[in-house]
Amino acid sequence: MERGALVHAVRGVSLQVPEHRTVALVGESGSGKSVTAMSIVNLLPENAQREGRVLFEGRDLLQATRPELQALRGREIACVFQEPMTSLNPVLTVGRQIAEPLVRHLGRSRREALAQAEHLLDEVGLPDPKRRLHAYPHELSGGQQQRVMIAMALACGPKLLIADEPTTALDVTIQRQILELLARLKAQHRMSMLFISHDLGVVGEIADEVVVMRRGEVREQGPVQRIFSAPRDTYTQALLSCRPALASPPARLAVVDDHIAQRVNTTPAKPKDPDAPVVLEVRSLAKSFWLRAGVFGRREFKAVQGVSFQLRRGHTLGVVGESGSGKTTLGLTLLRLHSVSSGPVSGAASCHTPAGEVDLLGLSESQWQPMRRRLQIVFQNPYASLNPRFTIGQTLLEPMQIHRIGSDAADRESRAQALLLKVGLDPSAMHKYPHEFSGGQRQRIAIARCLTLQPDVLVLDEAVSALDVSVQAQVLNLLKDLQDELGLAYLFISHDLAVVRFMADEVLVMKDGQVVEQAGAAELLAAPREEYTRRLLAAVPGGLARRADTGAA
């Protein structure tokens, strides 16, 4: 593309948000959902050009001056964004941030604004609101941070709330709480809401009307009941078919392009060998962290307690639970990615290699280095896990050079190109940088980087939670293909139970650092024994089915 060339991110989009109604914008990443929403209040880069009309109560916001827009934002139109930690100011207290729009737009005194902020925190369900006024964002959980963002958005009683992927990064129970909170506050404050999401289960529960976008254009729009029960556009049909189901998942997930082209994959799932060799065994694993207590003291926080499991070659163990349940700590402890000084580790974790059983926790740092080849990790955020200054070629070649894989530079480059092909990317990607790829492509690159070391075990820590449904389906299919071809064992950490049902052979449910239930995936999700597991399942967005059950549809 020539420098300065115009890119049409959105073309000819027309929609209406009626009073006291919720309109959902849905589509894949890059479809133009957020650009459309942010065009309303002109929260776009300086080089953005807008055409057409944006009418808000008869006023054309495209003709509004900068001071007029600044007076409108937060007062009449408010926004809640996907990642609250990047939206909240880390050096200001929660109370001060909620009070700011009250002082600026409504002329409240600082004392009055703080009193109103306390009331707002109570309204959004934050426990002990008076104490939370003096907390900083990093002292709150993700769900609590999102409640603070909602309190800020509601501070001045806006008429329109723009919610841009407000529940994407949250676990199912917190997501359920935020959705119910938004629905209650919308009715209570008689607001309208423009709700942006790629999760159709969520959209089916909260929206009155749906606008489906693809590549900057509207493909279909109408009442949620009609769109979900009888979609007319092939793209809408494809989006609805991409989402994995809790009951009877297919061998492979449909992807958008295959559905549109009416390509049907009938490849049966490869049967798992129940007697496959054990590659990773964990017994009574515990991990604690030292927390500051007073000026010189410290106390022990037990993040993981008494976890035991076996992982066989070619099998997947799903690990589920709410935020703070210990899922990620379990994975990072096994890979020794927590410093020794952070807190004590006990129990046993061994990797079964051709040379014999290796005690992962007892190895010195120099002894551990060769074991890094056998256990690799794919993180949740591919934007943060790839070095932006490295080309993709450098990213793939560096691990092979460190571990002396390949006979020479040419052999290593050939291996890297073959791995890119294996994960569905062109070898020409070797000379590009991470910013030149989409989120789904970056996650494929992160997977390829792990495969350079020919590992036995991959820890997948929320590896698909940030991806839209179509890209998520592609990556999940890729992971299954690689497992069948290479015999990889996966420790699959996720808060998405539908994805875990598709991927896992066995599921381990964690709460407060402990395993509360463990069984085969089909058995556990069909008939959970523990109340906590049943609560997790009940929180999974069910779209129109749930609304019909509750009489809301």
Domains and CATH numbers, the chain: 22-242 (3.40.50.300), 315-326+362-549 (3.40.50.300)
Q: Predicted confidence band at 365 (pLDDT cuts at 50, 70, 90)?
A: confident
Residue 68, token pair as written in the block: 């007029």
DSSP output for 112-180: HHHHHHHHHHHHTT-SSHHHHTT--GGGS-HHHHHHHHHHHHHTT--SEEEEESTTTTS-HHHHHHHHH
Going from the C-alpha of 352 to that of each of 192, 277, 278, 345, 507, the distances in angstroms are 57, 8, 7, 20, 21
Q: What would the 3-class secondary structure string for 376-391 be?
A: EEECCCHHHHCCCCCC
Dihedral angle at the C-alpha atoms of 126, 163, 492, 426, nearest 10 degrees?
Answer: -150
Tokens 């999401």 -> residue: 197
Instruction: Say how far apart CA 196 and CA 203 lie, in whole Å.
Output: 8
| pLDDT exceeds 90 at position 493 | yes
Tokens 């589920």 -> residue: 320
- Mean pLDDT, rounded, for 90-118: 94
Global pTM?
Answer: 0.82
Amino acid identity of residue 527, one-letter, is A
Residue 96's closest CA among 146, 129, 130, 134? 134
Instruction: Say how far apart CA 415 and CA 314 lie, in whole Å.
Output: 22
23: CB partners within 8 A, 6+ apart: 15, 16, 17, 192, 193, 194, 195, 207, 208, 209, 210, 211
Residue 360's closest CA among 311, 406, 324? 311
Residues written for the chain: 553
| pLDDT exceeds 70 at position 209 | yes
Q: Predicted confidence band at 517 (pLDDT cuts at 50, 70, 90)?
A: very high
- Mean pLDDT, rounded, for 149-171: 88
Mean per-residue pLDDT of the chain: 89
Q: Which residue has the higher pLDDT, 271 or 110?
A: 110
Q: Predicted confidence band at 142 (pLDDT cuts at 50, 70, 90)?
A: confident
**pLDDT tens readout for residues 386-408:** 999 999 999 999 999 999 999 99
Q: Predicted confidence band at 4 (pLDDT cuts at 50, 70, 90)?
A: low
CA atoms within 13 A on the CB side of 387: 11
User: Could you tell me if 260 and 238 are in contact, meaning their C-beta atoms sit under 8 angstroms apart?
Assistant: yes
Helix and strand totals (H; E) in the chain: 23, 18
Instruction: Say how far apart CA 62 and CA 40 lie, in whole Å.
Output: 8
Q: What is the pLDDT of residue 551?
A: 46
- Mean pLDDT, rounded, for 310-319: 97
**pLDDT tens readout for residues 247-296:** 777 888 878 877 777 776 666 677 889 999 999 999 999 999 998 887 78
| pLDDT exceeds 50 at position 1 | no
Q: What is the pLDDT of residue 466?
A: 73
- % of the chain with per-residue pLDDT over 70: 96
Q: What is the pLDDT of residue 117?
A: 94
Q: What is the pLDDT of residue 548?
A: 46
Q: Predicted confidence band at 424 (pLDDT cuts at 50, 70, 90)?
A: confident
Residue 470's closest CA among 436, 434, 427, 441? 441
Q: What is the pLDDT of residue 460?
A: 95
Tokens 């990889």 -> residue: 488
- Mean pLDDT, rounded, for 411-434: 93
- Mean pLDDT, rounded, for 171-176: 82
**Phi, then psi, of 413 in degrees rounded to 5:** -65, -40
| pLDDT exceeds 70 at position 346 | yes
Q: What is the pLDDT of residue 169?
A: 66
**pLDDT tens readout for residues 43-100:** 988 888 899 999 999 999 999 999 999 999 989 999 998 777 778 999 999 999 999 9
For 67, the 3-state DSSP assignment is: helix
Helix %, strand %, coil % of the chain (to 5): 40, 20, 40
